[in-house]
Amino acid sequence: MSEKLALVTGASRGIGKACALELAKAGYDIIINYVGNAEAAEKTVQEIKALGVDAAAYKFDVSNKEEVDKSIAEIVEKYGRIDVLVNNAGITRDGLFMRMSDENWNAVINTNLSSAFFVSQPVVKIMMKQRSGAIVNMASVVGVSGNAGQANYSAAKAGLIGLTKTLAKELGSRGIRVNAVAPGFINTDMTKDLDTSKFTDFIPLKRLGEPEDIAKAVKFLAVDAEYVTGQVLEVDGGLII
């Protein structure tokens, strides 16, 4: 076992998985979280272990406070510390504002924003005892720019940015840094049904991002950027310059 532990939510697939692997390469033991896809979670655990660190998967719904509290208590009991938290789990339920159902509004706000409140509170408790820790919240460029058809999602991601800056101010004196990454279009299951070919024209770097592009930024903020807090790093190939 390594001396440092990172918890990445929504890490069975996509961006979260890439973040977990990148932090494992930096020597962290890794706890990944997922909600339904046990097979993908187990595969990710094996890939992390192959890098020579310890790894385990915890199934809990980040939008369910009771499930979160129970799982974080188990993790803290077993490992005794959490050094890095990546609040990554997220979903989309797109639709025009005037047709958006309460259900789709609430699902996205709860999974993408309230989740960060639920998960961070018990994690910050242990980070405060350690007097050290780093949190990276997975926002989105649409939380900065807005996006037609994503009122729920862009409101949640803008909320995450506000939470990031506020926690940075509240927790800096305790040795805890809090930053956000705002990805543009990234090649994952979340974007697989979009016709992304038309977007590349608008991206200065002329390609979609890969999960690894985001993971490198997350690792930078979580591990290397020791004098950086409260920042939102846009990793979008220049999309919203």
Report the distance separating Cα 201 and Cα 217, nearest Å. 24
Q: Is 88 near ligand NAP (CB under 6 A)?
A: yes
Q: Which of 28, 34, 58, 153 is catalytic?
A: 153
Least distance to ligand NAP from the beta carbon of 67, Å? 8
Among 114, 120, 140, 150, binds ligand NAP (CB under 6 A): 140
Q: Which of 8, 21, 63, 180 binds ligand NAP (CB under 6 A)?
A: 63
- Per CB under 6 A, does 13 bind ligand NAP? yes
> In the annotation, is 153 catalytic?
yes
Sorted by sequence, the CB contacts under 8 Å of residue 45 that are 6+ apart come out as 32, 55, 56, 57
**Residue 110 to residues 21, 102, 153, 239, Cα–Cα distance (Å):** 26, 12, 10, 27
Q: Which residue from 45, 135, 138, 161 is in contact with ligand NAP, where contact means CB under 6 A?
A: 138
Q: Kindly tell me which residue out of 190, 225, 228, 240 binds ligand NAP, with binding defined by CB under 6 A.
A: 190
Phi, psi for 91 (deg, rounded to 5) = -135, 165
> From CA 188, how far away is CA 233, in angstroms rounded?
19
Q: Which of residues 29-48 bind ligand NAP (CB under 6 A)?
A: 33-37, 40
Return the SS3 of 140: coil
Residue placing its CB nearer to ligand NAP in the complex, 112 or 152 = 112
Question: In this complex, which beta carbon is closest to ligand NAP, that of residue 122 or of residue 183?
Answer: 183
Residue 128, amino acid = M
Catalytically active residues, by annotation: 153
